Structure 1
Amino acid sequence: MKVLVIQQKMIGDVLTSSILFEALRHKYPNAQLHYLINEHTYPVVENNPFIDHFIFFTKKEEWSKKALFNFAKKIKQQHFDVVIDVYSKLSSNIISAYSGAKTKISYHKTYTTPVYHHNIKRLKSTDEKSGLAIVNRLQLLQPLGIENASIKPKIYLTDAEIDSSKQFLTQHHVDFSKPTYMISVLGSGTNKTYPFPYMAKIIDAIVKQTQGQILFNYIPKQAADAQAIFDLCLPETQQHILFDVFGKSLRDFLAITTHCDALIGNEGGAVNMAKALNIKTFTIFSPWIDKATWNLFEDKNNVSVHLKDFKPQLYTKPEKALKKEALSLYNQFTPDLIQPKLKTFLESL
């Protein structure tokens, strides 16, 4: 059996959907399992032992209809028996439709129902600690006779990567006898980024309580924004921030994070990656993101906060409908609301 799983776009989505391969491999040990992803997301699934082959969806296919249809025709030539479309957007609808697979599975949408043989309705709530993002993905395997309550995403680093990152941190004067915290200071966009002055106060609180070392998660093109948050921190806090110690690639970031006591900050790919590395997390959700979907494996080691937890009266409609109001809602998500729960989290480390 030859299976194609489609999950384009975001790093966190690609990592989360990788759980399907572990379940597929256990049920069908001899199957050929292929993963169609955007090329920039590959580092989070590199070395995954359950995936046989990667197919990269590039900017060329994303921007050109002609390139997209040529890409879809090439997928058809690979003769997949099963296509599982987790992404379920126009480009993946076209790829699925052209694939010629005898079994095509995706989420239920009225306008794409004819494309797929199995249209799975997403659950809106779950009692599983794994979270809706995990539960709903695993539902896509039910037509193949696979029933799994929970699988946790995993990232596979090599010993060489971990050793190299430890040497890097040592060379940059990180003291392993002291607590070290990776701070996800920036989200994937403005509407997923805790306001800079508020984030600075959170970092101040972490240092005041723990006297720990602070690393910032950012990429070079985000340096100005990261610097702005650094400048807003108290002078005594700044002395604990190793601003120039960061991963220059995604794999570097992952390896460095394995040496941290916790990752704290904006919800997004960094949090999901930390969880996949078994690093403890404290997550600040954007006001318009549904916490029930993405608070994966919530427990004493993985804690999260959402404005809705403190001011439910603001939510007269679903979170997603408040996307345009994210910035005004963020203004009401003040650090004093977060700090008591953060204090308890840090005490538990």
Structure 2
Amino acid sequence: MIGDVLTSSILFEVLRQQYINAQLDFLINEHTYSVVENNPFIDNFILFNKKEESSKIALFNLAKLIKTHQYDVVIDVYSKFSSNLISALSGAKTKISKYKWYTSFIYTNTLKEGKTPKTIAGLAIENRLQLLEPILEKQPPIIQPKIYLTEQEIEDSKQFLLSHKINLSAPLFMISVLGSGKNKTYPLDYMAKIIDAIVKETQVQILFNYIPNQEPEAKDVYNLCKPETQKHIYFNVFGKNLRSFLAITKHCDALIGNEGGAVNMAKALNISTFTIFSPWILKEAWNMFEDGKMHVSIHLKDVNPNIYFNKPLKNMKKEADKLYKMFLPELIIPKLKAFLKNK
């Protein structure tokens, strides 16, 4: 959801360019607020919390509250049950969403998502921008998501890193060691081999991206690394919350690891990325702004396309474990080494 919210925030920058005096509000899940905090193009945030998520009464009350705002336009990017209901009850004259045959009656405008990217931005960007077509006079420009840190946040994170003996004059890499779930997490023993290869190639300082309740799994990766690699890992240096992670990442030279929110956030901070995609995720949707230099990614389909012959990706989610086992570090390391030469 963090990646979805961050990517959707580009709509506000486009809208502000053409509707200078409009009130632009963003309804988001409460825990994603940190990635859009301080966004200068958004006037108000409406936070969707666990109460609305678990109670239909609370959801209905939120929908009634939103109706009192008397919005002229509602754009439903996610199009799930809760946003369908809120859109239906909003009272907005114009309601826009992606096309689903079973919900299209709710909206005044629905648009079919593209399947093949037309630009370097990728499908996640392109499909969101097309939602603005019914209300824009001209084609929306391609815009990259941005995260807005304060100078104080950047300075505090700098002092935090210095206090832990991080040399900010030397290369510093963030490793996204864990995905958002098991079926989006590169096998831990394989990830350790990837980190070994990074250190052997570059001798860089390494940080791990994890939250406190993920420490056992992150520690497993650390323990699986070679002793000489472990000397380069500052395991106990990590962000205690999302904003601190963002501020720390701002000082890194690259983020490497599992596809997901961390990669999207690094790109929004203008940090170079190397992304390992889950075997069942559509790479074309989320390899945003990949240029082969600053942003590089790899998918099992890139190195073993025969596995996917006549098989829809979404049907392979159940086979994630088996497919990951086939995605050997040896298949990734050559492309990773080429990426590292530019760092």
Q: TM-score, normalised by structure 1?
A: 0.97
Note the C-alpha offset of 1:127. Answer: 2.5
Note the C-alpha offset of 1:318. Answer: 1.8
Whole-Å Cα distance in 1 between the matches of residues 24 and 331 of structure 2? Answer: 45
Whole-Å Cα distance in 2 between the matches of residues 103 and 195 of structure 1? Answer: 46
Whole-Å Cα distance in 2 between the matches of residues 319 and 69 of structure 1? Answer: 35
Matched, 1:301 2:294: yes
Match of 1:59 among 47, 50, 60: 50
Matched residue type, 1:310: V
Q: State the partner residue of 1:245.
A: 237
Q: State the partner residue of 2:89.
A: 98
Match of 1:137 among 97, 105, 128: 128
Asked if the contact 1:186/1:193 (under 8 Å) is kept, the reply is: yes
Return structure 1 stretches of 4+ with deviation > 4 angstroms. Answer: none
Asked if the contact 2:29/2:48 (under 8 Å) is kept, the reply is: yes
Asked if the contact 2:14/2:141 (under 8 Å) is kept, the reply is: no
Matched residue type, 1:130: A
Q: State the partner residue of 1:254.
A: 246
Whole-Å Cα distance in 1 between the matches of residues 92 and 319 of structure 2? Answer: 42
Note the C-alpha offset of 1:177. Answer: 2.6
Question: What per-residue deviation string (whole Å, max 9, x for no partner) do you get for residues 55-112 of structure 1?
Answer: 0001001001111111111111111100000010011000000000000000000000
Q: State the partner residue of 1:345.
A: 339
Q: State the partner residue of 2:322.
A: 328
Question: What per-residue deviation string (whole Å, max 9, x for no partner) do you get for residues 109-152 of structure 1?
Answer: 00001100001110111230000000000000000025224110
Q: State the partner residue of 1:269.
A: 261
Question: What per-residue deviation string (whole Å, max 9, x for no partner) do you get for residues 305-347 of structure 1?
Answer: 0000011111131211111111100000000000001001000
Q: State the partner residue of 1:20.
A: 11
Percent of pairs with identical residues: 68
Match of 1:68 among 59, 70, 74: 59
Q: Secondary structure at the match of 1:84?
A: strand
Q: TM-score, normalised by structure 2?
A: 0.98
Asked if the contact 2:177/2:210 (under 8 Å) is kept, the reply is: yes
Whole-Å Cα distance in 1 between the matches of residues 312 and 35 of structure 2? Answer: 30
Q: Secondary structure at the match of 1:287?
A: coil
Matched residue type, 1:306: H
Q: Secondary structure at the match of 1:344?
A: helix
Whole-Å Cα distance in 2 between the matches of residues 177 and 56 of structure 1? Answer: 40
Match of 1:223 among 199, 204, 215: 215
Matched residue type, 2:51: K
Note the C-alpha offset of 1:178. Answer: 1.9
Q: Secondary structure at the match of 2:95?
A: strand
Matched residue pairs, number? 340
Asked if the contact 1:135/1:149 (under 8 Å) is kept, the reply is: no
Question: What per-residue deviation string (whole Å, max 9, x for no partner) do you get for residues 6-39 of structure 1?
Answer: xxxx100000000000000001000000000001
Whole-Å Cα distance in 2 between the matches of residues 17 and 321 of structure 1? Answer: 26
Matched residue type, 1:39: E
The alignment's C-alpha RMSD in Å is: 0.6
Q: Which moved more, 1:15-24 or 1:120-129?
A: 120-129
Q: State the partner residue of 1:85.
A: 76
Whole-Å Cα distance in 2 between the matches of residues 126 and 342 of structure 1? Answer: 24
Q: Secondary structure at the match of 2:103?
A: helix
Matched, 1:282 2:274: yes
Matched, 1:198 2:186: no
Whole-Å Cα distance in 1 between the matches of residues 338 and 118 of structure 2? Answer: 24
Matched, 1:313 2:306: yes
Asked if the contact 1:138/1:147 (under 8 Å) is kept, the reply is: no
Whole-Å Cα distance in 2 between the matches of residues 221 and 281 of structure 1? Answer: 25
Matched residue type, 1:320: K
Asked if the contact 1:82/1:103 (under 8 Å) is kept, the reply is: yes
Matched residue type, 1:64: S
Q: State the partner residue of 2:28.
A: 37
Matched residue type, 2:340: L
Q: State the partner residue of 1:208.
A: 200
Whole-Å Cα distance in 2 between the matches of residues 148 and 335 of structure 1? Answer: 40
